[in-house]
Amino acid sequence: MSQELRAVDWTGTGLTLIDQTRLPHRTETVDVRDVDTLVDAIQRLVVRGAPAIGAAGAYGVALALIQGEREGWSEARVREAVARIREARPTAVNLMVCVDRVMTRFTEGLDAVLEEAAAVQREDVDANRAMGGYGADWLLKKAGEDRPLRILTHCNTGALATAGWGTALGVIRELHARGRLEVVYADETRPLLQGSRLTAWELVQEGIPHYVQADAAAAGTVLRGEVDAAIVGADRIAANGDTANKVGTVGVALACAYAGIPFLVAAPTTTVDLSTPTGDGIHIELRGEDEVLEWAGVRTAPAESRGHNPAFDVTPGRLVTGLVTERGVLEVSAGELPGDRLR
Amino acid sequence: MSQELRAVDWTGTGLTLIDQTRLPHRTETVDVRDVDTLVDAIQRLVVRGAPAIGAAGAYGVALALIQGEREGWSEARVREAVARIREARPTAVNLMVCVDRVMTRFTEGLDAVLEEAAAVQREDVDANRAMGGYGADWLLKKAGEDRPLRILTHCNTGALATAGWGTALGVIRELHARGRLEVVYADETRPLLQGSRLTAWELVQEGIPHYVQADAAAAGTVLRGEVDAAIVGADRIAANGDTANKVGTVGVALACAYAGIPFLVAAPTTTVDLSTPTGDGIHIELRGEDEVLEWAGVRTAPAESRGHNPAFDVTPGRLVTGLVTERGVLEVSAGELPGDRLR
C-alpha cells in the first residue's frame, strides 16, 4: 500500500495533501487551491519532511500561477506568493532548492512549471529507491553479515516525508524486503510525535516489527547493545557533513559514536547545501512554546513556565558514519566530505 | 514554601503523600493507612524519586506494624508485607536501604520503628542541604567565576523527590539563593513528564526562571553552548560510578562530555550500592508499554504498535564529572570512584 501512498499529490487543478496532523487515527486529506492554504499547511506540518515539503513547494509554483490567473494578480504578485512558499520553513533546504528549480521555467508558463514539478517528484522517488539499495548494501556489509538487523530511527522519513518510499525509512523498507530486518526502534519524536504517529503507522502498513520508545530511551537502547545501527533523514547538510535534522538526532548520533555502531544519514543530494560550509551557518527554526507546554491543547506544564522549542539540531559531520545519497554512501566521519565529493 | 513542602508526611497514625500524578494542576494528597495502598502508590508514582520512596518505605514499616496490630497479623505476615514494600520498585536502592535500616529496630516495636523512620527523613533533608552547598561551591568554582550559571536538569529531583529540599534541584536552589543562577532548562522527561509537571512546578514556587524543553532538545541545547553544566539525581550508583537514573540521563551525559561541560550527579551516599561493582549489575525496570503508546489514556501510536519503556538508563562513571554527596564532591571521571572513597 505505501508504494502508492502519496503525501503530496497533484490532482490536475490543485494539490491534495494527506493531513499528517490527523494520523494515525484518521486518514484525511486537505485540498489546497491557494497559496495561503499551502503556506499554512507547511507551517502547521500538515505536510512535513524535507523532501515532501520540497515537492509541495514545487507544485506550489503552479498553484500560485493558477491562483494569480483566477484572481488577476500581477506577475510581481505571483512571484511574491512564490517567495512566501519558499520561506515557509527556514531549516530545510529542499523547499528552497525545489522552488528555485521550478522557477527556472516560470516564464515558460503553467505547463512547463507543472512538468518540472512532476519531475521533482518523480526524481525524488527514484532517488529514494536508489538510497534504499545503497543504504541496505552498506549496512549489510558493515553490520549485518550474520543476522537480521535491529535498526533505530528518529522522526519520520518514509513515504509521508518524501515524494514516496522514503529516505531513512526507505533503507529500512529495503532491508525488510530483503528479509534482513529484525526490528525497528522508532523514537516517538516529541513534541509532535512524528515517530509514534507517522513512522509507526507506515511500519504497520508494511508489517515491519517495531517498538515505539520515548526519545529519552534512545541513548540507553543504543548503549545496552539493543540495536545494530541508527539511520535518520536530514533537513540540510553543510559541506563538511554537519547535518541539521529533527531535534533529538544529535543525541542518537552521540550514543552511536560512544557505542561504536554506525550512524547513517539518508538524504538526497538536494539536501546538501554546498554554500553552507559548516552547521554553524544553518538557521535552526524555533517553533511555538506551546508545542512543549501543552498536549493536544491541554496544558501540562505550569501556566507560569516558558518553553524552549528548537525544531532541529545539528549533528557534527564527524559523528556521521555514512551519508546515504542516491549516488552512493559517503563515509563522512572517515573524511569523505560532501563538499569534496558532491561539487 | 517548598522548604515546608513534604511529599511524604507521617501524621501520627498514617502516611500522607502528595499525589504527584495530579501535579501541577491539582495539589491533592493521598492518605495511606495500609500496605497495599502504599505499594500501589509507589508503583503508580504517586510518590516517586529515590529518596522520597526511601522515606515512604521507612514509614511503611510502621504502617505494616499498625495494620498488623489492627488486623491481627502474625509477625511473619508483617515481615512479608514489609518485603513487598521493599521490592515495590526494583531500580532505586534507597528504598531497600531505608527499609532495611528501619527493620534493624523492628523487634523493638512501633515507637522505635517510627523514631528510625523519622531519622531517615530528617537525615535526608540534612544530606540534601549539605549537597546543595557542596554542589554550588563546586559549580561556581569550575564554571561560574564570572557570571550566573545556566543549568540543565532532567526529571525531578526536588522537594517532591526527596524528604525535602532536593538533590540536584537542591543544588540549583542553592545557586538561586546565592544569586548565581541565570536560568534552568528542565527536560520534560517523557513518558510521565516529571520535568514539565513537577520540576517546573517547584521552579515556579521558587520563582526560578526556567524553560521546559523536549528531552530530545537537551543534547542540542548543550552542544549549542546554551548551558554551563547539567545536574541530575540518581536511583542507584555502582562502585565504579556507573549511575542508574531516569531514562534520558545518559544522553545528557554524552552531550556534556562532547561539549566539555560538567555533568554532575547529586545523590546521598545511600544511593551508592557498593555491592554492585558496575552498572551492568543494575536491574533496569521496564514499565508498561502504554506509558509510551498513550497520552492520558488516549492512544497516540497505532493500535498494532508495541512499546519499549525502560524507566532508567545507566550513565558510565567515566561520563560523570562530579558526584555530589552529603560528604562532598567526588570527581568520578577523574578517577575518584565511589567504591574507593565511600567504603
User: The pTM is what?
Assistant: 0.94
pLDDT, mean of residues A14-29: 94
In this structure, are residues B315 and B245 in contact, taking their beta carbons and an 8 Å threshold?
A: yes
Residue B257 has pLDDT above 90, yes or no: yes
Distance (Å, whole) CA A293 – CA A286: 14
Residue A176's beta-bridge partner residues? none
In this structure, are residues A292 and A190 in contact, taking their beta carbons and an 8 Å threshold?
A: yes
pLDDT, mean of residues A169-197: 97
Residue B193 near chain A (CB below 8 Å): yes
Q: Please give the grid coordinates belonging to residue A144.
A: 549485518
Residue B5 has pLDDT above 80, yes or no: no
Q: Could you tell me which residue, B27 or A319, shows the higher pLDDT?
A: A319
DSSP state of A292: H
Under the banding of pLDDT at 50, 70 and 90, the label for residue A2 is very low
Residue B19 has pLDDT above 50, yes or no: yes
pLDDT at B3: 44
Under 8 Å CB-to-CB from B76, ≥6 apart: which residues?
none
Query: What pLDDT digit, counting tens, does each position of B222-249 carry?
Result: 999 999 999 999 999 999 999 999 999 9
Residue B191 has pLDDT above 90, yes or no: yes
In this structure, are residues B260 and B325 in contact, taking their beta carbons and an 8 Å threshold?
A: no
Residues A251, B250: C-beta atoms closer than 8 Å: no
Residues B251, A190: C-beta atoms closer than 8 Å: no
B8-123 carries CATH number 1.20.120.420: yes
Nearest to B247 by CA among A192, A183, A222, A210: A222
| Domain boundaries, given as residue ranges, for chain A | 8-123, 127-341
3-state secondary structure of B236: strand
Q: Please give the grid coordinates belonging to residue B202.
A: 517547584
Q: Which of residues 282-321 of B touch A (CB under 8 A)?
A: 284, 292-293, 295-296, 298-302, 304-310, 312-314, 316
Query: What pLDDT digit, counting tens, does each position of A65-113 carry?
Result: 999 999 999 999 999 999 999 999 988 889 999 999 999 999 999 999 9
Query: What pLDDT digit, counting tens, does each position of B56-86 carry?
Result: 999 999 999 999 999 999 999 999 999 999 9
In this structure, are residues B141 and B99 in contact, taking their beta carbons and an 8 Å threshold?
A: no
pLDDT at A4: 61
Under the banding of pLDDT at 50, 70 and 90, the label for residue A298 is confident
Helices (H), chain A: 35-43, 50-71, 75-86, 94-103, 110-143, 168-177, 200-206, 218-223, 249-259, 290-293, 338-341
CATH class for domain A127-341? Answer: alpha beta
- Neighbouring CB atoms inside 10 A of B177's CB total 12
DSSP state of B310: B
Report chain A residues whose CB lies below 8 A from the CB of B223: 250, 313-314, 316
Residue B26 near chain A (CB below 8 Å): no
Distance (Å, whole) CA B214 – CA B208: 19
Please count the CA atoms within 13 angstroms of the CA of A196 that sit on its side-chain side.
Answer: 26
Residue B316 has pLDDT above 60, yes or no: yes
Please count the CA atoms within 13 angstroms of the CA of B223 that sit on its side-chain side.
Answer: 27
Residue with cell 515537492: A55
Q: Which of residues 242-261 of B touch A (CB under 8 A)?
A: 246-248, 250-251, 254-255, 258
Distance (Å, whole) CA B149 – CA B45: 31
Q: Please give the grid coordinates belonging to residue B141.
A: 568554582
Report chain A residues whose CB lies below 8 A from the CB of B282: none
3-state secondary structure of A139: helix
Under 8 Å CB-to-CB from A128, ≥6 apart: which residues?
A51, A162, A163, A164, A165, A166, A167, A170, A268, A326
Residues A215, B190: C-beta atoms closer than 8 Å: yes
pLDDT, mean of residues A20-30: 93
Residue B187 near chain A (CB below 8 Å): yes
pLDDT at A3: 44
User: Left if phi > 0, otherwise alpha if psi is -120 to 50, otherwise beta: which for A63?
Assistant: alpha
Distance (Å, whole) CA B162 – CA B156: 10
Under 8 Å CB-to-CB from A301, ≥6 apart: which residues?
A292, A293, A294, A307, B24, B188, B196, B197, B200, B212
Nearest residue of chain A to residue B21 (CA atoms)? A300
Residues B211, A306: C-beta atoms closer than 8 Å: yes
Distance (Å, whole) CA B22 – CA B31: 15
Under the banding of pLDDT at 50, 70 and 90, the label for residue A48 is very high
Helices (H), B25-106: 35-43, 50-71, 75-86, 94-103
Query: What pLDDT digit, counting tens, does each position of A251-289 carry?
Result: 999 999 999 999 999 999 999 999 999 999 999 999 999
Report chain A residues whose CB lies below 8 A from the CB of B254: 219, 251, 254-255, 258
Q: Are strands B181-187 and B15-18 parallel, antiparallel or unpaired?
A: unpaired
Distances in Å between the Cα of B67 and the Cα atoms of B62, B78, B87 are: 9, 8, 19
Q: Are strands B243-246 and B236-238 parallel, antiparallel or unpaired?
A: antiparallel
Helices (H), A26-155: 35-43, 50-71, 75-86, 94-103, 110-143
Query: What pLDDT digit, counting tens, does each position of B125-172 carry?
Result: 999 999 999 999 999 999 877 889 999 999 999 999 998 899 999 999
Q: Which of B187, B235, B242, B313 is catalytic?
A: B235
Nearest to A47 by CA among A159, A139, A200, A186: A159
Residue A315 has pLDDT above 60, yes or no: yes
Query: What pLDDT digit, counting tens, does each position of B35-61 carry?
Result: 999 999 999 999 999 999 999 999 999
Q: In degrees, to the nearest 5, what angle opens at C-alpha A183 toward C-alphas A182 and A184?
A: 145
Q: In degrees, to the nearest 5, what angle opens at C-alpha A29 toward C-alphas A24 and A31?
A: 160
Q: Which of A192-201, A292-301, B112-121, B329-338 bottoms out in mean pLDDT, i.e. has the lowest? A: A292-301
ipTM of the complex: 0.93
Residue B220 near chain A (CB below 8 Å): yes
pLDDT at B4: 61
Residue A1's beta-bridge partner residues? none
Q: How far is B123 from chain A (nearest CA, A)?
A: 31
> Taking the C-alpha atoms of A156, A157, A160 and A166 in order, what is their torsion angle to the nearest 10 degrees?
-150
Distance (Å, whole) CA A205 – CA A214: 21
Q: Is the peptide bond before A24 cis (omega within 30 degrees of 0)?
A: yes
Based on DSSP, count helices (H) and strands (E) in chain A, helices before strands.
11, 17
Helices (H), B144-259: 168-177, 200-206, 218-223, 249-259
Q: Please give the grid coordinates belonging to residue A138.
A: 552498506
Nearest to A14 by CA among A71, A62, A73, A81: A62
Q: How many residues does chain A have?
A: 343
When CB atoms are compared, the residue of A200, A246, A296 closest to B301 is A200
Intra-chain end-to-end CA distance of chain A, in Å:
37
Average per-residue pLDDT for chain B: 95
| Cα-trace Rg, chain B | 19
Residues A212, B305: C-beta atoms closer than 8 Å: yes
In this structure, are residues B166 and B126 in contact, taking their beta carbons and an 8 Å threshold?
A: no
Residue B308's beta-bridge partner residues? A213
Burial-class residue B205 by CB neighbours within 10 Å (0-12, 13-18, 19+): middle
3-state secondary structure of A190: coil
pLDDT, mean of residues A314-325: 98
Q: How many residues does chain B have?
A: 343
Residue A145 has pLDDT above 80, yes or no: no
Distance (Å, whole) CA A55 – CA A72: 26
pLDDT at B93: 87
When CB atoms are compared, the residue of B215, B296, B308 closest to A190 is B215
Burial-class residue A208 by CB neighbours within 10 Å (0-12, 13-18, 19+): buried
Query: DSSP E strands: which ranges in chain B?
Result: 8-10, 15-18, 29-32, 149-153, 181-187, 210-213, 229-232, 236-238, 243-246, 263-266, 272-273, 294-295, 298-299, 306-308, 312-315, 322-325, 328-330
| Cα-trace Rg, chain A | 19
Residues A309, B214: C-beta atoms closer than 8 Å: yes
Nearest to B176 by CA among B203, B212, B138, B211: B203
Distance (Å, whole) CA B31 – CA A328: 64
When CB atoms are compared, the residue of B197, B209, B248 closest to A216 is B248
